[in-house]
Amino acid sequence: MTNYCGDRRTVGHGEVAICGEMGPCGVHQCAACELKDYKAAHPDAPEGTNTADDGLVKAIARVAHEVVAAHSAAYGDYTTKPWETLSPQEQNHTRAKVAAFLNNPKLHPTAQHGPTVAALSSSQRAAAYVFHGVVHAIAREQTRA
């Protein structure tokens, strides 16, 4: 069974993606629901499977969010709020995205945008790649001996 929570998320410049609703590229699924599906599909996942509550995931989420905010500001887009002003739901969503990327390294950088990916500007697509890159760079650094 595929999880859809109905969470309404603004992506980019006012485009709205709703988890479980059809869009131009198919049905959108938020990162939190993707993580639930991953865990359901992989019940034998190793003990080290990342969750949105892990300390490292929380730290990576904050850093990746702030880097994307700075990246967006460089393009004149100041709509990405500072981490401290995000609602708990927005912070949880970002942490779930990080956990999903860590648990599934082949997940595409724009996967969290679902069907709205076709409507993303080049700076928004770049921000998705930056977020993805920061997540994996920090994770690689943490595993260095």
CA dist., res. 137 & res. 60, Å (int): 10
Displacement of CA 136 from its chain's centroid (Å) = 12
- Per-residue confidence (pLDDT) for residue 104, from 0 to 100: 85
The tens digit of pLDDT for each residue in 30-71 reads 766 776 676 666 666 555 677 777 788 999 999 999 999 999
- Per-residue confidence (pLDDT) for residue 64, from 0 to 100: 96
Which residues, given as ranges, of the chain have pLDDT below 70? 1, 9-15, 24-26, 31-32, 35-36, 38-48, 145
Tokens of 104: 């599934």
- Per-residue confidence (pLDDT) for residue 138, from 0 to 100: 92
